[in-house]
């Protein structure tokens, strides 16, 4: 072990170098490559938060535990193994601990909002190994803590090998991950692992699986800025990590998971946006009764042509004057190229219009209670600002409408102008997903049960973990992943390697997870799990994370090679749990699960694919895993914390060790 650990350290240092590169792009400083410990930190990415140190210091054991639980859930069994191995050589392997710590820290500060503690894991192998992986999966949630401890040093070496593989994969796929705390409408929260390639759609799909909600198209991720009193929904095609990385570290911003019928209102009743005769109020009633066929043709006409049609929208709105609390009424017009206003004494012909704002660099938000906050004439306000602006600034534009209907028309019109056909594509995907979901629920009652109602009921962190693993996810995820990734041969190879490994080490677990029973198990774990405590204690959670890093490093150190395959598999394990439904699927599920954790893509994709159903899913799943693996590799890139982050991680690690020991 000692040798291997050294090798690992070396690998880590090289990885760190890479990470630095990656992190630069992220805007976060990179840690010094030399430190062995730091390397792990690299894998973990904390995004957007300024005070890593603070956050780390501030971390409470509880927070750590919660995070750990989440992480554990996410991590595939393989990872867990690696973690365990690391724990065994706990001190040598700083990675895991540090990783966990870092993650935790990130999460803690966030508090209300989404926590962004990123951990990079290399769950890749999982997919391939279907059978082996499954066993692993079972362990993850509840067992994770114990397993790590129990695991033996022997395994550790094998893990080291796997780690090497994982490291390589990581390099290929430098993927940044965040742990995001999502607030549900029942005031509970769920923590999710989101990797930098995941779109809002993927995250939604992930949440669907965890919550067993009805999956209708109105569900959305919703960001709230308490300070500015603004909020908006994520568009399904938006990259979640990218959006979150604009948040400051001490932000109070939150991510919510809720239903908003405004999200796709235009596709349900296009006539309200395209055929609204503002001149005649009485026409409203008739408008709202448009038959389905006409709606369809109206949508077709507006969104399926060579270019989309932006609803004609114009009218007087109140504009908040820069830096003042006074509102001025102006006549605004919406065009595909931006919002314009009619200058004083001019007409509203195109040539006289003055540009108010173009949409390229701004997002649109609803303003809440601006009547109170800014003395707005009404509470129907919308706000345009650059996504990176987080505090009050003269660069934020506040507009106020006379009524809710006008507000919705403007917000939707601006979204159409800004996003174009993408919006319609998103909607169609959402519809497909919703349809799929309804079928799915019919198919598997088990899943529904598994879900995690318990988790929802239970409070925060613990629950999330339990839910994460759920099978439902995996299936959909698998499909999606398959589609998206059409991945490279590399992935496949990795996956293959993983399979072997996983099978060997965790064979026992795998079966359980894969089988239908798993769901229940998970739940139990979840509920109990809440197991947050166990994870914390284990620090293992952290360990789990570290494990991935280890994987990465290993490449150089040949010693552990054998196990390498195993390592990857672990992630799959997590994934697998979801698959619970069918025995055969389990492996595949596992794979998906694994993929979900590290690579965001899997979860979302899976649902989307038509073939989401179990049988097909199974077939597809195997391939998917590889892809995921690649993704996980990337995690290192995060580096949001950077230098400070590294030192913080070290501290956290030490702290953890102390706890563990």
Contact string (CB under 8 A) for another protein, positions 391-410, x = contact: x-xxxx--------------
Tally of helices (H runs) and strands (E runs) in the chain: 34, 12
Residue placing its CB nearer to another protein in the complex, 137 or 173: 173
Pairing relation of β-strands 254-259 and 177-184? Answer: parallel
Q: Provide, rounded to whole angstroms, the least separation between the CB of residue 358 and another protein.
A: 7
- Whether 509 and 138 have beta carbons less than 8 Å apart is answered as yes
- Whether 652 and 60 have beta carbons less than 8 Å apart is answered as no
Q: Provide, rounded to whole angstroms, the least separation between the CB of residue 159 and another protein.
A: 20
Q: Supply the DSSP symbol for 248.
A: -
Which residues, listed in sequence order, are joined to residue 320 by a DSSP beta bridge? 327
Binding-site member from 149, 258, 316, 389 for another protein (CB under 8 A):
389
Stretch that binds another protein, among 11-19, 233-241, 255-263, 643-651 (CB under 8 A): 11-19
For residue 439, with 0-12 CB atoms within 10 Å meaning exposed, 13-18 middle and 19 or more buried, which class applies?
Answer: exposed
Residue placing its CB nearer to another protein in the complex, 36 or 466: 36
Count Cβ neighbours within 10 Å for each residue of 224-237 and write b for 16 or more, e otherwise: bbeebbbbbbbbbe
Residue 297 binds another protein (CB under 8 A): yes
Binding-site member from 312, 402, 425, 644 for another protein (CB under 8 A):
312
Q: Provide, rounded to whole angstroms, the least separation between the CB of residue 599 and another protein.
A: 13
To 5 degrees, how large is the angle CA 557–CA 563–CA 567? 100
Residue 11 binds another protein (CB under 8 A): yes
Stretch that binds another protein, among 20-28, 214-222, 404-412, 646-654 (CB under 8 A): 20-28
Residue 58 binds another protein (CB under 8 A): no
Q: Provide, rounded to whole angstroms, the least separation between the CB of residue 386 and another protein.
A: 4
Residue 386 binds another protein (CB under 8 A): yes
Residue 25 binds another protein (CB under 8 A): yes
Residue 310 binds another protein (CB under 8 A): yes
Residue placing its CB nearer to another protein in the complex, 304 or 404: 304
Q: Cα torsion for 100, 104, 206, 639, to the nearest 10°?
A: -70
d(C-alpha 417, C-alpha 157), whole Å: 56
Residue 164 binds another protein (CB under 8 A): no
Helix H, strand E, coil C: the string for 208-239 is HHHHCCCCCCCEEEEEEECCCCEEEECCCCCE
Residue placing its CB nearer to another protein in the complex, 291 or 661: 291
Binding-site member from 14, 98, 115, 530 for another protein (CB under 8 A):
14
Binding-site member from 149, 275, 431, 448 for another protein (CB under 8 A):
275
Q: Provide, rounded to whole angstroms, the least separation between the CB of residue 305 and another protein.
A: 7
Stretch that binds another protein, among 18-26, 128-136, 149-157, 435-443 (CB under 8 A): 18-26
Residue 51 binds another protein (CB under 8 A): no
Complete DSSP assignment for 429-493: HHHHHHHHHHHHHHH-HHHHHTTTHHHHHS-TTHHHHHHTT-HHHHHHHHHHHHHHT---HHHHH
For residue 475, with 0-12 CB atoms within 10 Å meaning exposed, 13-18 middle and 19 or more buried, which class applies?
Answer: buried
- Whether 222 and 231 have beta carbons less than 8 Å apart is answered as yes
Residue numbers 503-562 binding another protein by CB under 8 A: 555-556
Residue 390 binds another protein (CB under 8 A): yes
Residue placing its CB nearer to another protein in the complex, 49 or 318: 49
d(C-alpha 38, C-alpha 405), whole Å: 53
Binding-site member from 174, 263, 485, 628 for another protein (CB under 8 A):
174
Q: 235: alpha, beta or left, given left = phi > 0 and alpha = psi -120 to 50?
A: beta
Stretch that binds another protein, among 154-162, 300-308, 463-471, 542-550 (CB under 8 A): 300-308
Residue 325 binds another protein (CB under 8 A): no
- Helix then strand then coil, in percent of the chain rounded to 5, is 55, 10, 35
Q: Determine how many CB atoms are found less than 10 A away from the CB of residue 277.
A: 11
Residue 96 binds another protein (CB under 8 A): no
Binding-site member from 87, 162, 171, 254 for another protein (CB under 8 A):
171
Distance, C-alpha 365 to centroid of its chain: 21
Binding-site member from 146, 226, 315, 387 for another protein (CB under 8 A):
387
Q: Provide, rounded to whole angstroms, the least separation between the CB of residue 243 and another protein.
A: 12
Residue 305 binds another protein (CB under 8 A): yes
Q: Cα torsion for 200, 206, 207, 209, to the nearest 10°?
A: 150
Binding-site member from 3, 60, 154, 301 for another protein (CB under 8 A):
301
Distance, C-alpha 356 to centroid of its chain: 34
Complete DSSP assignment for 594-610: HHHSSSSSSTTTTTSSG
Q: Provide, rounded to whole angstroms, the least separation between the CB of residue 252 and another protein.
A: 13
d(C-alpha 284, C-alpha 303), whole Å: 23
Element (H, E) at 98: helix 94-110
Binding-site member from 107, 117, 128, 353 for another protein (CB under 8 A):
353
Residue numbers 332-351 binding another protein by CB under 8 A: 335-338, 340, 347, 349-351
Stretch that binds another protein, among 139-147, 166-174, 464-472, 508-516 (CB under 8 A): 166-174
Least Cα distance to 574 among 192, 102, 263 occurs for 192
Contact string (CB under 8 A) for another protein, positions 469-508, x = contact: ----------------------------------------
User: Using CB under 8 A as the criterion, which residues of the chain lie in contact with another protein when the complex forms?
Assistant: 11, 14-15, 17-18, 20-21, 24-25, 27, 168, 171-174, 246, 248, 275, 277, 286, 294, 297-298, 301, 305-310, 312, 335-338, 340, 347, 349-351, 353, 355, 358, 361, 386-391, 393-396, 555-556
């Amino acid at each position: 072990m000692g040798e291997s650990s050294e090798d690992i350290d070396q690998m880590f240092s090289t990885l760190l170098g890479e990470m630095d590169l990656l992190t630069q792009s992220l805007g976060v400083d990179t840690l010094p490559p030399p430190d062995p410990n730091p390397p792990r930190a690299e894998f973990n990415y904390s995004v957007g938060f300024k005070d890593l140190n603070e956050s780390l210091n501030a971390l409470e054991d509880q927070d750590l535990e919660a995070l750990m639980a989440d992480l554990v859930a996410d991590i595939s069994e393989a990872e867990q193994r690696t973690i365990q191995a690391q724990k065994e050589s706990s001190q040598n392997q700083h990675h895991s601990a540090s990783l966990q710590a870092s993650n935790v820290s990130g999460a803690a500060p966030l508090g209300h909002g989404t926590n962004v503690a990123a951990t990079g894991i290399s769950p890749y192998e999982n997919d391939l190994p279907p059978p082996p992986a499954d066993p692993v999966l079972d362990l993850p949630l509840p067992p994770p803590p114990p397993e790590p401890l129990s695991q033996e040093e022997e395994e550790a070496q094998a893990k080291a090998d796997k780690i090497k593989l994982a490291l390589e994969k990581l390099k290929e796929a430098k993927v940044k991950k965040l742990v995001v705390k999502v607030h549900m409408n029942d005031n509970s929260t769920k923590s999710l692992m989101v990797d930098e390639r995941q779109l809002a759609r993927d995250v939604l799909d992930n949440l669907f699986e965890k919550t067993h909600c009805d999956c209708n198209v109105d569900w959305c991720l919703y960001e709230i800025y308490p300070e500015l009193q603004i909020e908006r929904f994520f568009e399904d095609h938006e990259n979640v990590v990218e959006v979150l990385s604009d948040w400051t570290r001490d932000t109070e911003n939150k991510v919510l998971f809720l239903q908003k019928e405004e999200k796709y209102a235009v596709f349900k009743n296009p006539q309200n946006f395209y055929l609204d005769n503002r001149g005649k109020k009485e026409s409203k009633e008739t408008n709202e009764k448009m038959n389905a066929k006409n709606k369809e043709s109206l949508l077709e006409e507006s969104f399926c042509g060579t270019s989309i049609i932006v609803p004609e929208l114009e009218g007087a709105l109140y504009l908040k004057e820069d830096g003042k609390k006074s509102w001025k009424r102006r006549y605004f017009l919406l065009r595909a190229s931006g919002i314009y206003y009619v200058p004083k004494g001019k007409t509203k012909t195109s040539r006289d219009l003055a540009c108010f704002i173009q949409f390229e660099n701004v997002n649109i938000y609803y303003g809440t209670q601006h009547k109170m906050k800014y003395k707005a004439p009404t509470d129907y306000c919308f706000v345009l600002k650059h996504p990176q602006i987080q505090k009050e600034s003269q660069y934020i534009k506040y507009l106020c409408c006379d009524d809710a209907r006008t507000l919705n028309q403007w917000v939707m019109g601006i979204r159409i102008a800004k996003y174009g056909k993408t919006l319609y594509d998103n909607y169609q995907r959402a519809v497909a997903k919703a349809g799929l979901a309804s079928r799915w629920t019919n198919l598997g009652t088990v899943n529904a049960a598994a879900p995690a109602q318990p988790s929802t009921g239970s409070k925060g962190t613990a629950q999330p973990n339990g839910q994460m693993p759920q099978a439902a996810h995996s299936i959909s995820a698998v499909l999606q992943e398959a589609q998206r990734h059409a991945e490279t041969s590399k992935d496949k190879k990795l996956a293959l390697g993983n399979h072997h490994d996983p099978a060997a080490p965790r064979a026992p677990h795998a079966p359980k997870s894969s089988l239908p029973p798993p769901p229940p198990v998970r739940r139990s774990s979840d509920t109990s799990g809440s197991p947050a405590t166990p994870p914390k204690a284990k620090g293992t959670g952290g360990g789990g994370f570290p494990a991935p890093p280890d994987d990465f490093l290993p490449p150089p150190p040949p010693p552990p090679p054998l196990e390498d395959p195993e390592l990857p598999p672990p992630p799959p394990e997590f994934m697998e749990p979801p698959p619970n439904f069918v025995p055969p699927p389990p492996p595949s599920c596992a794979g998906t699960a694994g993929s979900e954790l590290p690579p965001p893509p899997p979860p979302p994709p899976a649902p989307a694919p038509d073939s989401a159903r179990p049988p097909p899913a199974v077939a597809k799943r195997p391939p998917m895993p590889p892809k995921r693996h690649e993704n996980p590799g990337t995690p290192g890139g995060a580096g949001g914390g950077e230098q400070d982050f590294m030192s913080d991680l070290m501290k956290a690690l030490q702290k953890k060790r102390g706890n563990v020991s």
